[in-house]
Structure 1
Amino acid sequence: MITGIGTDITRISRVNFRIGKRVLTEKEKIARKNNAQYIAGRFSLKESFFKALGKGIGSHSFKDISFLNNSEGKPYLVLHKDFEGFNFCHVSLSHDDYAFSTVILEKLEGKIFLALGSNIGNKEENLTKALELLKDAGITILTVSNIYETKPYGFTQQDNFFNIVVEVETHLSPMQLLKTVLSIEKKMGRKREIKWGPRNIDIDILFYGNLVVELDNLTIPHYDFENRNFFIVPMNEIAPSYKHPVTNISIKDYYENLDKKDQEVKNWTLKNLKVLKSK
């Protein structure tokens, strides 16, 4: 469902570097040479985004968001502030004497992926309990991967992990979702004593639609996704065609490029799988 559409047109000749200081984030400043065309494009995109929100810029700031370009030159949105009501942002920008932009905000069911892991106690029961608590928090479980047993990452002197990836549906914003999964970890007695150390439950937000989020304590997509087999393998099972919003690489391609020699995989079906799925 489309939740908002915004368009804007800006005459490039009217843009100056004083506007650039007010509009551009540090990421945008180092991404490109800050000429008038570039500044006008970012100004136009941000105007379109805030129009798509339906309230204009209001209490927001131009520096609450960035528009960067991927390897193919296509602009994409980066959120530096928590926004709710959408999980996809589609962007178009054209230049001539004017910069003309369109931003479409969309709320699609699912396409939000969480990774769950456990290597203390009854690992399977821990994963089951975490899924139940996600449901109790109003988060709909759409798809659950099989359990994959994987070697520990980072700190290796510990037991193997049981890992799953789930696709969920929620109206929670990215930051609200983070607070919810942290509260579930706390409720289950998660203790953070050693970096990458043993844990009875760990819940990571891998992807939130095609949004890119860079907040002080939250980075989406997961900052190290492409280096972690225990994310890629189960996600390839449930969403192989999903594409990383920055690299534009599909999960299937990530999976096919893995060094699978280091990955022990056991396709054990989670107990009560059909019960745990919300649909």
Structure 2
Amino acid sequence: MEEQTLAKFEPRAAHEKNRWDVVTVQLARGKILAGFGANCPGPWGSPPETIARAMRELEDAGVHVVAISPFYETAAIGRARQAPYVNAVALIDTDRPPDALLRLLKRIERSAGRRGGRPWGPRTLDIDIVDYKGLVRYWRGGRGDFARAGARPLVLPHPLAHQRPFVLRPLANIAPDWRHPALGETAEALLRRLPKHGQGAVLKRL
């Protein structure tokens, strides 16, 4: 089976929850990348605490969290005067099909206090499937086809991930050899095309 090198980030000490050292690991291709974001406190605590708890909830549900990126503070998208987000990407492994995995992620969001609201509004927790084992579905003409009537389908890979520095920066850390399944480019190559400032920009590593 073909393998790729990934950067696995592990805590330096129990009291340094968001400090990470890099450990090189060899992992088979065909894993799943999920993006995590939060910018307001909820029942699980601060945004970093909420994201860390979400990882534990995945493990408790039988989804193996293989590796976690560093956490980044990033500029919010959408409504003005929002608090910055905390974002991370995790490499996970599960036999659940993509739609079943999405249902689990949405259940974890609700447990973290996520409720319906305005698009691009504040979030106690947001989890997206960025890449599901290289699967491409609902893409057309080089873009995700999600502007359709009725129930919104799960577009894979995520239809906007390639335009989001707050996804690509941690993704490049955790999976430097990853290529976008529909566009064929690495996260670093996609990042170079994007503005370094403005909405969605990476502000600092935590």
Pair 1:266 & 2:186 matched: no
* Partner amino acid, structure 1, of 2:189: D
Rg: which structure is higher?
1
Aligned length: 163
Q: C-alpha separation between the residues in 2 aligned to 1:188 and 1:143?
A: 21
- Change over 3 Å in CA distance of 1:141–1:109 after alignment to 2: farther
Shift in Å at residue 216 of structure 1? 4.0
Instruction: Judge conservation of contact 1:117–1:127 (CA < 8 Å) in 2.
Output: yes
Secondary structure, counterpart of 1:132 in structure 2: helix
Q: C-alpha separation between the residues in 1 aligned to 2:173 and 2:80?
A: 26
* Partner amino acid, structure 2, of 1:117: G
Q: C-alpha separation between the residues in 2 aligned to 1:212 and 1:223?
A: 10
Other-structure match for 1:205: 129
Given candidates 83, 97, 100, the residue that maps to 1:159 is: 83
Shift in Å at residue 189 of structure 1? 1.6
Secondary structure, counterpart of 1:168 in structure 2: strand
Instruction: Judge conservation of contact 1:233–1:255 (CA < 8 Å) in 2.
Output: yes
Instruction: Judge conservation of contact 1:139–1:170 (CA < 8 Å) in 2.
Output: yes
Q: C-alpha separation between the residues in 1 aligned to 2:135 and 2:90?
A: 18
Given candidates 19, 26, 32, the residue that maps to 1:112 is: 32
Shift in Å at residue 229 of structure 1? 1.0
* Partner amino acid, structure 2, of 1:202: D
Other-structure match for 1:144: 68
Shift in Å at residue 254 of structure 1? 1.1
Instruction: Judge conservation of contact 2:35–2:89 (CA < 8 Å) in 1.
Output: yes
Instruction: Judge conservation of contact 2:37–2:85 (CA < 8 Å) in 1.
Output: yes
Secondary structure, counterpart of 1:163 in structure 2: strand
Return the structure number with greater relative CO, CA threshold 8 A, min gap 6: 2
Question: 1:239-274 deviations in whole A, cap 9, x for unaligned?
Answer: 121111111111121123332234343222xxxxxx
**What RMSD in Å do the two structures reach over aligned CA positions?**
1.9
User: Identity across aligned pairs (percent)?
Assistant: 33
TM-score (norm 2): 0.73
- Change over 3 Å in CA distance of 1:195–1:129 after alignment to 2: same
Shift in Å at residue 110 of structure 1? 5.5
Secondary structure, counterpart of 2:66 in structure 1: strand
Question: 1:41-63 deviations in whole A, cap 9, x for unaligned?
Answer: xxxxxxxxxxxxxxxxxxxxxxx
Shift in Å at residue 109 of structure 1? 5.9
Q: C-alpha separation between the residues in 2 aligned to 1:216 and 1:117?
A: 21
Question: 1:200-251 deviations in whole A, cap 9, x for unaligned?
Answer: 1000010012101338431111111121111111101111211111111111
Instruction: Judge conservation of contact 1:244–1:250 (CA < 8 Å) in 2.
Output: yes
Q: C-alpha separation between the residues in 1 aligned to 2:163 and 2:29?
A: 27
Secondary structure, counterpart of 2:203 in structure 1: coil
Q: Which runs of 5+ in 2 are unaligned?
A: 3-27, 139-150
